[in-house]
């Protein structure tokens, strides 16, 4: 379930090429960022608070537009004219599930984009059931997301992000604020998915468990990028970025 669909590729799943982002007023948040994520690869994105991790995910999701540079998903350039298409290709699980869950029922929350797109009811119902089954919330369609625990909300947000089997899954601090049990359940779920992911997190254990490659951001730049095992054993680098202890 939720597997990558094809096995022969000429383009990376995600390409970020010379991307800079300035907030209105001129503050430079990202400066000439370039990296790629291959099909089926899980890549970590780490760096201290405020280094631009969330901003980068919003740029990829086409919620923000780069000031310079180019982002492509599976060879398709992300630009102002293809917002809907890109948003369907890239699922985003936001840091705070309340940002994503504004519906009165779990069904509506997970089905939101399909309802807006006018998909047939039978297809929606079947896809919602499948996504809820994947996050171990079978039968929760009629529950109110606002009355669920933080961990359950996170799982509903994940279900909403994967319900249409996006090519790429973007996760913003997926384990922030979760207790130990739900945290390991979530890590297992993500680990079981054969899907391309870019995971922004402070949780170095999660980065170590899930990702093969890690990009380190600081001061708007990529200051390190390499196999996760190498990045996580570079204690000087992690200490300098305030990522240890």
Ligand X SMILES: Nc1ncnc2c1ncn2[C@@H]1O[C@H](COP(=O)(O)OP(=O)(O)O)[C@@H](O)[C@H]1O
Smaller CB separation from ligand X, 50 or 75? 50
Strand partners, 22: 28
Nearest approach in angstroms of CB 55 to ligand X is 3
Q: Which residues of this protein are in contact with ligand X, per CB under 6 A?
A: 23, 27, 29, 47, 49-55
C-alpha span between 179 and 149 (Å, rounded): 10
Q: Which does 23 bind (CB under 5 to 8 A by kind): Mg ion, ligand X, none?
A: ligand X
Binding mask 66-85 for Mg ion (x = CB under 5 A): --------------------
What phi and psi, each to the nearest 5 degrees, are found at residue 208? Answer: -65, -40
- The arrangement of strands across the sheet holding 68-73 comes to 28-37, 14-22, 68-73, 76-77
Helices vs. strands in the chain: H and E counts, helices first: 9, 10
Residue number closest to Mg ion, CB atom? 54
Smaller CB separation from ligand X, 114 or 200? 200
Give the one residue of 35, 46, 54, 175 binding Mg ion; rule: CB under 5 A: 54
Q: Which does 7 bind (CB under 5 to 8 A by kind): ligand X, Mg ion, none?
A: none
Stretch near Mg ion under the rule CB under 5 A, chosen from 50-58, 117-125, 155-163, 201-209: 50-58
Nearest approach in angstroms of CB 241 to Mg ion is 14
C-alpha span between 144 and 140 (Å, rounded): 9
Nearest residue to 65 (alpha-carbon basis) of 76, 55, 75, 74? 55
C-alpha span between 140 and 142 (Å, rounded): 6
Q: Which does 52 bind (CB under 5 to 8 A by kind): ligand X, Mg ion, none?
A: ligand X
Binding mask 121-150 for Mg ion (x = CB under 5 A): ------------------------------
Stretch near Mg ion under the rule CB under 5 A, chosen from 53-61, 109-117, 134-142, 150-158: 53-61
The reply on whether position 161 binds Mg ion by CB under 5 A is no
Q: Which does 63 bind (CB under 5 to 8 A by kind): ligand X, Mg ion, none?
A: none
The reply on whether position 55 binds Mg ion by CB under 5 A is no
Cα dist from 46 to 27, 42, 139, 221, whole Å: 21, 13, 36, 12
C-alpha span between 81 and 84 (Å, rounded): 9
| Cβ-based neighbour number of residue 18 at 10 Å | 13
């Amino acid at each position: 379930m939720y597997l990558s669909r094809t096995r022969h590729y000429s383009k990376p799943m995600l390409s970020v090429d010379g991307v800079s982002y300035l907030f209105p007023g001129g503050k430079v948040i990202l400066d000439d960022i370039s990296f790629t994520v291959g099909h089926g690869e899980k890549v970590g994105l780490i760096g201290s608070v405020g280094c631009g991790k969330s901003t980068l995910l919003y740029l990829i999701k086409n919620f923000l537009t780069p000031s310079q540079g180019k982002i492509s998903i599976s060879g398709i350039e992300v630009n102002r004219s293809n917002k809907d298409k890109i948003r369907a290709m890239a699922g985003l699980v936001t840091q705070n599930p309340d940002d994503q869950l504004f519906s009165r029922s779990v069904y509506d929350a997970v089905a939101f984009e399909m309802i807006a797109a006018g998909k047939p009811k039978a297809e929606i119902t079947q896809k919602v059931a499948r996504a809820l089954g994947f996050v171990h919330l079978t039968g929760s369609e009629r529950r109110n997301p606002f009355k669920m625990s933080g961990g359950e909300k996170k799982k509903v947000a994940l279900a909403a992000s994967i319900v249409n089997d996006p090519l790429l899954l973007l996760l913003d601090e997926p384990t922030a604020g979760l207790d130990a049990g739900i945290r390991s359940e979530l890590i297992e779920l993500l680990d079981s998915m054969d899907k391309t992911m870019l995971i922004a997190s402070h949780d170095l254990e999660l980065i170590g468990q899930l990702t093969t490659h890690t990009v380190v951001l600081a001061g708007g730049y990529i200051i390190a990028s390499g196999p996760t095992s190498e990045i996580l054993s570079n204690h000087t680098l992690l200490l300098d970025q305030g990522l240890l202890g």
